[in-house]
Chain A
Amino acid sequence: MENMDNNQRPFEPYEIQMGPQHPATHGVLKLDLELDGETVIGCKPTVGFLHRGVEKLSENLTYAQALPLTDRLDYIASMANNVVYSNAVETLLGIEVPERAKFIRTMVMEMARITGHLLWLATHALDIGAMTVFLYCFREREQLLDLFEEVCGARLTTTYTCIGGVRQDVTGHFLETLYKFTEEFPSRVREYETLIDQNRIWLKRTQGVGIVSKEDAVSLGLTGPSLRASGVDYDVRKHLPFDAYSEVEFEVPIGKKGDVYDRYRCRMEELLQSNRIIKQCIEKLPPGPIRADDSPDLVMPFSKKCVTADATFKSGVIKLVEDRKHYMEGDVYVSGECPKGELGFYFVSDGKGRPYRMHIRSPSYIHIGALPFLCKGQMVADVIAIIGSLDVVLGECDR
């Protein structure tokens, strides 16, 4: 108390722990915040609570067996993970995917982007205090999840793609329902905007908060809408087009200031652009096969004995034909634009049917790594807005 002279309070930074069980950290993320009053002067994220060792597991599985593990990375938009993973394996094996499968993949990836962004908008708004948007977003998300269920039988853990194409063809009913959805979706987006865009509380909570400059954003490794909101034109779909992205027209929204509000605006615009891509995919969807001729076959084992003898895990039921000629030796890095940012797979192959090393470059991991930089000098309440605006999923971060 001796320091209290001249009305000055004693400077004593104190620490609070935010998480790991906290509704606004979007999973099991723990932040050790060092505070001076209400201002954050230090932030130390702790991750790893969801670490399942996907990379180590994959080294002991065949390429096809490791595919379902990718569902569990970004479980909000698992279709996108499936597509990027399959693309990476196909690049490694040198398999050319048929046109129809490419369009279907582009379509489901954009559907995944919409589901991902809708969940982001819902939870982000809920964090900041707008409850109604949450319910509206889930209405549309539900429609898309039902469509996922129709096309592959699962709503969240889809495993829809396979190496060399997609597992099942889309039906006429699916395309009709989806087309109807794309027709009315822009009006839905306008509905969300009327709820929050003019809202004074929303604007005050988001504008000018968590600003990150162009140079810093690139240096920090931010990708996806979080990077583009800072005014950097980097979208993997445009820079290194994969699947049918070179054949559809769409714009990449770019922000100016790089604050929470710009990140919100970029994602809202992306919803409309994704909608546009889906529409074009339905219109342009060519007929033809959905799997490449030279894609690795999945064969059911002859007997139960065969499974326990050959598969790595005792519970394995599918055995991949491993003695293919064209598993090459070497390494590839392939990335794709997921809802959260650039998801990349780095494979090292030693010519066998299993990856020698697989590394996942997950955008959420890098984004949480950027949190200390972004939170410095902000208020405690804004930390929540910043985490929300980066759109992180801990399943993907911890792998």
Chain B
Amino acid sequence: MEPLEIAELLKKRFPGQVIEIKESRNQVGVLVKKGRILEICRWLHDDPRLQFNHLADLCGVDYLGKRDCRFEVVYNLYSIPLRHRIRIRAQVPEEDCKIDSVTSIWMGANWHERECYDLFGIEFVGHPDLRRILLPEGWEGHPLRKDYPLDGGGKNWSGYEEIRKKAKDLRQFDFYGDYPDPTKEKELKDVAGKDGEYGQ
């Protein structure tokens, strides 16, 4: 089926949900409200005319200052048996930064959604295990947001100092234990730099 036909079908099936149908480079994207996204996805997956069984990609986009609705979650769907595809974009406003999880439809959505949560801070309601994935626990902020500076804002991750201290302690290995030799100890300190710290 042609992607535009699918988009029209979707508009007819869910009146009031479709905001915009946009075609770019022969690919059709349908902008929808986030309220009934789970129903829409289930319909796209189950309808025998559509059979979108392959969730090719799921990701977030931050339109800070460009659009009224700040975030979008993008679902790139493909139907392996029927060989057609469509893109669903769901609006997620900043004030209400959550959307229904689609893990019950595609198991593979699990890690996609965790990544989106990690890097954009969009919460997926009904996700079985919503934790940070690429960044460590305790990371502040969500790096792919447009207001997150490229260099991280000069702040270090809280676990960084801990690791640094551990490395520093390991470097101060006592080679000469019971037989102190002041001259050799001095040489060692020179090699390690000031207070045995790493040069930066």
Q: Which of B143-191 contact A (CB under 8 A)?
A: 143-144, 148, 150
Asked whether, in the complex, the Cβ of B57 is within 8 Å of the Cβ of A344, the reply is yes
Given contacts A218-B54, A332-B25, A332-B27, contact A370 B108 (CB under 8 A): yes
Q: Which of A363-399 contact B (CB under 8 A)?
A: 365-366, 368-370, 373, 398-399
How far in angstroms is the closest Cβ of chain A from B35? 22
* A118 CB–B CB distance under 8 Å: no
- Fill in one digit per residue for A226-244: 1 if any B CB lies within 8 Å of its CB, else 0: 0000001110000100000
Give the residue among A56, A221, A234 with the most B Cβ atoms within 10 A: A221
- Fill in one digit per residue for A325-351: 1 if any B CB lies within 8 Å of its CB, else 0: 000101111010000001010101010
Asked whether, in the complex, the Cβ of A346 is within 8 Å of the Cβ of B57, the reply is yes
Asked whether, in the complex, the Cβ of B135 is within 8 Å of the Cβ of A48, the reply is yes
Asked whether, in the complex, the Cβ of A361 is within 8 Å of the Cβ of B57, the reply is yes
Asked whether, in the complex, the Cβ of A53 is within 8 Å of the Cβ of B24, the reply is no
Q: Which of A216, A335, A370 contacts B56 (CB 8 A)?
A: A335
* A276 CB–B CB distance under 8 Å: no
Using Cβ atoms and an 8 Å threshold, which residues of chain A touch B17? none
- Fill in one digit per residue for B20-53: 1 if any A CB lies within 8 Å of its CB, else 0: 0010110101000000000000000000000001
Asked whether, in the complex, the Cβ of B134 is within 8 Å of the Cβ of A331, the reply is no
Roughly how many angstroms separate A398 CA and B115 CA in the complex, as a whole number?
A: 10
Using Cβ atoms and an 8 Å threshold, which residues of chain A touch B144? 55-56, 357
Residue of A nearest to B111 (CB): A369
* B194 CB–A CB distance under 8 Å: no
Using Cβ atoms and an 8 Å threshold, which residues of chain A touch B111? 365-366, 368-369
Asked whether, in the complex, the Cβ of B24 is within 8 Å of the Cβ of A357, the reply is no
Roughly how many angstroms separate A312 CA and B30 CA in the complex, as a whole number?
A: 34
The count of chain A contact residues (Cβ–Cβ below 8 Å) is 44
Residue of B nearest to A234 (CB): B80
Q: Which of A216, A333, A357 contacts B57 (CB 8 A)?
A: A333
Using Cβ atoms and an 8 Å threshold, which residues of chain B touch A234? 54, 80
Given contacts A55-B144, A346-B59, A373-B107, contact A330 B134 (CB under 8 A): no
How far in angstroms is the closest Cβ of chain B from A229? 15
* A51 CB–B CB distance under 8 Å: yes
* A144 CB–B CB distance under 8 Å: no
* B61 CB–A CB distance under 8 Å: yes
Q: Which of A57, A233, A331 contacts B87 (CB 8 A)?
A: A331
How far in angstroms is the closest Cβ of chain A from B101? 14
- Fill in one digit per residue for B50-70: 1 if any A CB lies within 8 Å of its CB, else 0: 000111110101100010000
Give 27 pairs: A residue, B residue, CB < 8 Å, sorted on A. A47-B134, A48-B133, A57-B150, A94-B25, A218-B54, A220-B107, A221-B54, A221-B107, A221-B109, A234-B54, A239-B80, A328-B25, A330-B24, A330-B25, A331-B27, A333-B57, A348-B61, A350-B66, A357-B144, A359-B74, A365-B111, A366-B111, A366-B112, A369-B111, A370-B108, A373-B107, A398-B134
